[in-house]
C-alpha cells in the first residue's frame, strides 16, 4: 500500500469516528407533565341550613368528577369535603395542584385548605355519607385563596408519600360553600429531571504503523560507493586513466586504479575486458586463417 493510499484510509476512518461518536452530552433539565387522578370523591351531610335559615339541597350543582367543599359555623367540622389520589412515576416532583371552581356566573371568594388524606385507597363517591368518608390529617394544612379566575393553587409536594399523592380538600372559613370543577390531567403538574450528562468519548482511530524498510548496506550493492564516515575526509576523486589499445592495457588500468574507484566501474571494466578478449580472439582467428591460405603465384 502506498503512503498516499494509507493517508486516505486513515482520513476516512477518522471522519467515520467523528460522525459516529461525537460528544453526546445530555444536560440536566426538567420537563413538566400532567397527571390525572386515580380516585376522586366527596362526602357530605344530607342537607344544611343556609345563613338565611333556608334548607339548601346538598350537591345538586356539583358536576361529575368534581367535589363540594362546604362548612357550617365551625370550619373544622365541615359539612362537605372532597378527596383525590394520584399515583406518580418514580423520579417526579409535584409542582402544583390547581383546583378550578364552578361559579355559575358568581366570582369565587374565600379560601380552601389542603390536608393529608390517610386512606388513599378509598372508594370513590359523589355525595357519599360523611360518616363513611376517609380520615384526613390537617397537622400540616396549607391554604390557598381564590385567584382572579376563581382557581386555587397549592404546592402539594409535602403530601406525597412515595409514589402516592393523597389529599383532602376542606373549608377554611365559616358558612362557606365552594363547588370544585372536575379534576383532570391538567389539575396536577409534575416535573422530572432528565438523565445525568453522559459523555461518549470519540472512538480510537487506528493508525497503521509505517512499513519497515530493510536497511541494506551500501557496500553490498554493486556499483555503489559507500559514503565516507563522518569526520573522515573522503579521498579526492580520481579520473579514470585513458584506455590504451589492447585488452592487456585495459586490464592494467583497471588494476592500477585506486581501490575506491575500482568499485565504481568494476562491472564496466569487466564488460570492456570481455569485449576486448572477444575482439582479440576474433582477430587471432582471422590472422591464422589468412596465414594458412595458399599464396597466389604470379606467372
When the pLDDT of each residue in the chain is averaged and rounded to a whole number, the result is: 73
Within a domain: 254: yes
In a domain, 10, yes or no: no
Same domain assignment for residues 147 and 254: no
- The 10s digit of each residue's pLDDT in 214-264 is 555 545 545 544 555 445 455 555 555 554 445 445 445 545 555 544 454
Report whether pLDDT(267) > 90.
no
pLDDT tens for each residue of 119-136: 999 999 999 999 999 999
Same domain for 251 and 120, yes or no, is no
Find how far residue 112's CA is from the centre of its chain. 47
131 within domain boundaries: yes
Q: Is 87 domain-assigned?
A: yes
> Which among 193, 220, 253 is the end of a domain?
193
Give the structural domain span for 257.
242-284
Do 180 and 273 fall into the same domain?
no
**In this predicted model, which residue has the larger pLDDT, 258 or 158?**
158
Between residues 78 and 15, the one the model is more confident about = 78
Number of folded domains that form the chain: 2
184 and 43 in a single domain? The answer is yes
Whether residue 123 is found in the same domain as residue 258: no
Residues 183, 37: one domain?
yes
Mark whether 174 and 274 lie in a shared domain: no
Amino acid at each position: 500500500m502506498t503512503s498516499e493510499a494509507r493517508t486516505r484510509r486513515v482520513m476516512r476512518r477518522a471522519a467515520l469516528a467523528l460522525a459516529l461518536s461525537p460528544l453526546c452530552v445530555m444536560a440536566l433539565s426538567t420537563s413538566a407533565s400532567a397527571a390525572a387522578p386515580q380516585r376522586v370523591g366527596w362526602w357530605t351531610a344530607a342537607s344544611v341550613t343556609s345563613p338565611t335559615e333556608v334548607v339548601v339541597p346538598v350537591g345538586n350543582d356539583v358536576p361529575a368528577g368534581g367535589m363540594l367543599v362546604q362548612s357550617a359555623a365551625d370550619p373544622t367540622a365541615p359539612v362537605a369535603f372532597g378527596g383525590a389520589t394520584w399515583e406518580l412515576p418514580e423520579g417526579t416532583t409535584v409542582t402544583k395542584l390547581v383546583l378550578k371552581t364552578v361559579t355559575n356566573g358568581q366570582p369565587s371568594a374565600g379560601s380552601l385548605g389542603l390536608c393529608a388524606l390517610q386512606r388513599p385507597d378509598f372508594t370513590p363517591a359523589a355525595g357519599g355519607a360523611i360518616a363513611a368518608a376517609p380520615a384526613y390529617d390537617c397537622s400540616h394544612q396549607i391554604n390557598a385563596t381564590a385567584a382572579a379566575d376563581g382557581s386555587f393553587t397549592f404546592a402539594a409536594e409535602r403530601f406525597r408519600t412515595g409514589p402516592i399523592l393523597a389529599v383532602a380538600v376542606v373549608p377554611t372559613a365559616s358558612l362557606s360553600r365552594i363547588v370544585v370543577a372536575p379534576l383532570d390531567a391538567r389539575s396536577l403538574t409534575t416535573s422530572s429531571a432528565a438523565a445525568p450528562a453522559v459523555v461518549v468519548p470519540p472512538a480510537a482511530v487506528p493508525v497503521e504503523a509505517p512499513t519497515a524498510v530493510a536497511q541494506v548496506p551500501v557496500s553490498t550493492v554493486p556499483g555503489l560507493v559507500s559514503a565516507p564516515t563522518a569526520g573522515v575526509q573522503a579521498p579526492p576523486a580520481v579520473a579514470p586513466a585513458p584506455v590504451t589499445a589492447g585488452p592487456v592495457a585495459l586490464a592494467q588500468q583497471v588494476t592500477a586504479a585506486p581501490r575506491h574507484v575500482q568499485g565504481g566501474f568494476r562491472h564496466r571494466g569487466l564488460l570492456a575486458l570481455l569485449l576486448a578478449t572477444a575482439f582479440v580472439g576474433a582477430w587471432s582467428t582471422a590472422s591464422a586463417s589468412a596465414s594458412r591460405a595458399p599464396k597466389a603465384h604470379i606467372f
